[in-house]
Amino acid sequence: MVPIPRRPAAAARLDAPACRTPESRTPEPRTAEPGTPVEELLRDLGGQLRRGGGVEPEAAARPWPTGLRELDRLLGGGFPRGRLSEITGPVCGGRTSLGHALLARATAAGEVAALVEVADAFDPGSAHAAGTRLERVLWVRAPERRAALRSVEHLLLANGFGLVLLDLAGEAPARTARPRPRDARRGHLERTPAVWPRLRKAARAAGTALVVLGDRRCVGACADLAVETGTLRPRFTGTPPLLEGLEGEVHIVRNRLGPQLSRVPVRWPKPSGLRSPSARCARPAGACMRRCS
């Protein structure tokens, strides 16, 4: 009688889905059989090897650093992927600088990022000076808040963006609809509470870091991480005086993944490529009479 060949164990195959079976509640780690070409390839390439599609569990957990060492240390590496985070603060508080820092890190890592904004306040030259690779940023200028939220949902469903930055700061107050008294107490941004759990779930499914930028907190309990920026102090030095940068602090007000209620001193130097008015000349080096490159 010819024996029926057994299929190899699911855990031993790289393409096997990591599913839980009733027999073993904890899936075995995905390892290749020793001695096979796949195992040799994994050994040679090590951590450089990425999977072609989908979201790698480790990649989903890998946070996006802000570039501020102390803040990244407290956040466990940076803003988490697959989570909903929030950055709030007053004007000139450093919110935009923090958002651009995330964009710069994400695009430098070869990821595709998206920026959805309502106030049409994104300055490409400033972001470029901060190190953002502009060609890897999808810029969505939504006409109003509802379109911005729906755009974010579409982007998360596209399943491949490393970072989605939703900029609600500077949004004009809604004048068409009169807010209900309950909403008026909490601000008009609170009138769409059902959207945040949905976006949070979509961000988790896509493995995308969803960061909301605003004047004040609007995500509420759905935020896995909430950071508030304080009023910063500018530094002018030299004669005639030149703007060197801003100094201040960042307050972690909510963090489900680590310590919270921590204050971190930050310093935002003015980038060398951002001389006033803004030296973002696109001409090649040496071709510009202003010598801005």
According to CB under 8 A, which residues from 191 to 230 bind other proteins?
A: none
**How large is the greatest C-alpha to C-alpha distance in the chain, in angstroms?**
96
DSSP notation for 154-223: HHHHH--EEEEEEE-TTPPPP-SSPPPHHHHHH-GGGG-TTHHHHHHHHHHHHT-EEEEEESS--SGGG-
Residue 43 interacts with other proteins (CB under 8 A): yes or no: no
Interface mask (CB under 8 A) for other proteins, residues 90-119, using x and -? xxxxxxxxxxxx--xx--xxxxx-------
275-283 long-range contacts (CB < 8 A, ≥24 apart) are: 276/243, 278/123, 278/125, 278/126, 278/129, 280/124, 280/125, 280/126, 280/128, 280/129
Distance of alpha carbon 79 from alpha carbon 238, whole angstroms: 36
- The window from 172-180, 189-197, 232-240, 256-264 that contacts other proteins (CB under 8 A) reads 232-240
Size of the site for other proteins (CB under 8 A): 93
Residue 14 interacts with other proteins (CB under 8 A): yes or no: no
Task: Provide the 8-state DSSP code for 136.
Answer: G
Residue 137 interacts with other proteins (CB under 8 A): yes or no: yes
Interface mask (CB under 8 A) for other proteins, residues 261-290, using x and -? -----xxxxxx--xxxxx-xxxx------x
Considering the complex, what minimum distance in angstroms separates the CB of residue 127 from other proteins? Answer: 7
Cα dihedral across residues 111, 90, 254, 184: positive or negative: negative
- Of 67 and 77, which has the nearer Cβ to other proteins? 67
Considering the complex, what minimum distance in angstroms separates the CB of residue 67 from other proteins? Answer: 5
Interface mask (CB under 8 A) for other proteins, residues 159-178, using x and -? xxxx------xx--------
For residues 258 and 246, is the Cβ–Cβ distance under 8 A?
no
- Of 115 and 226, which has the nearer Cβ to other proteins? 115
- Of 15, 23, 44, 135, the one binding other proteins by CB under 8 A: 135
